Structure 1
């Protein structure tokens, strides 16, 4: 990958097109190469157009993100804005880290780390369908009315102070300010 990048840079381009440049690398090397790409961009002062299907890669490297679906731009903007306020169901699901829920007022995206798991009777009634320990947090998958699956990322210390198991009834809670209405 470094040799291919050096060959492309030798011509001193004004814009560099990178098409899935990190896709064949293992996760550790991929993170190192992201750092090298950021450093090169800063030192050379040229624009990179970086095509990727890796959301973490896009968020780590992009000043601006363009999310396309079937050759149509679904959303474009600063990386943080696109991640925090997806406009469409596709963008919310593609960027990851979001739930898409149908409520009486319409369809909304809410970040998985903005969903809390409480006692039955609090918030929206749900049933735990899966638990996945992920180190710093635990992913709790739950089913709510309308056969909708909602994921809550709960800090590991919080989860293990009140552990849940598949089949347990819970209440899912969130701040309504964290809901983002979707247009499609």
Structure 2
């Protein structure tokens, strides 16, 4: 109803402040589709405020990630997800591991591009399995690895397809080789 009242005035720009936050997941997806249709049909610019990374990616042409009132990165959704500018953006958008290198610089590697076991490669480091979450089409494996910057073990995540996990299941506490392709790593700015 509030959207209809706002649209009747014929605005060129519309501020939507977390309009989908109170909806169940199924309705939220349907409303995202409806908002995109309205925006395209009427040629409006929407400024859509959300704390949902999925919603931001699904609805936007431009994503602006802010931290403490400061813009950390502004780009199209794919760029923000594939090439986060900073460690904050990589962690906030989700799906990335932030890894500190020996020279104190940081890289981001998407969790679905981490490799476990024999596929980890020659540069693999040992990592201890600390959590296993079945997500249907994938399994999210929480890991701790020493030697990836800092005194504390690095907390990392690997996302494995459910079929690959079923072929080679892991156990809590198990130590496995962990690696990634150099091409999968993205250097972060300070």
Give TM-score scaled by structure 2 length. 0.92
Gaps of 5+ in 2: 147-151
Gaps of 5+ in 1: none
- Give SS of 1:75's match: strand
Instruction: State which of 47, 71, 76 in structure 1 corresponds to 2:74.
Output: 76
- Give SS of 2:107's match: strand
Q: Deviations along 1:50-107, whole A, 9 cap, x unmatched?
A: 0100000000000000000111000001110011100111101110111111121421
Question: 2 CA distance for matches of 1:128 and 1:63?
Answer: 37
Alignment length (residue pairs): 182
The answer to whether the Cα contact below 8 Å between 2:120 and 2:178 also exists between their aligned partners in 1 is no
Runs of 4+ that moved beyond 2 A: 119-122
Question: 2 CA distance for matches of 1:120 and 1:42?
Answer: 44
Question: 2 CA distance for matches of 1:175 and 1:120?
Answer: 10
Give the structure 2 partner of residue 167 of structure 1.
Answer: 173
Please tell me whether residue 118 in structure 1 is matched to residue 110 in structure 2.
no
Give the structure 1 partner of residue 17 of structure 2.
Answer: 19
Between stretches 53-62 and 116-125, larger displacement belongs to 116-125
- Give SS of 1:41's match: helix
Q: How far does residue 128 in structure 1 lie from its aligned partner after superposition?
A: 0.7
Question: 1 CA distance for matches of 2:83 and 2:174?
Answer: 31
RMSD: 1.4
Please tell me whether residue 128 in structure 1 is matched to residue 129 in structure 2.
yes
Between stretches 144-153 and 113-122, larger displacement belongs to 113-122
| Map 1:47-58 → 2, pairs under 5 A | 47-58=45-56
- Give SS of 1:143's match: strand
Q: How far does residue 114 in structure 1 lie from its aligned partner after superposition?
A: 0.6
Give the structure 2 partner of residue 7 of structure 1.
Answer: 5
Question: 2 CA distance for matches of 1:16 and 1:36?
Answer: 15
Q: 1:16 to 1:108 in 2, by over 3 A?
A: same
Q: How far does residue 182 in structure 1 lie from its aligned partner after superposition?
A: 1.3
Question: 1 CA distance for matches of 2:120 and 2:165?
Answer: 18
Question: 2 CA distance for matches of 1:57 and 1:72?
Answer: 21
- Give SS of 1:132's match: strand
Give the structure 1 partner of residue 36 of structure 2.
Answer: 38
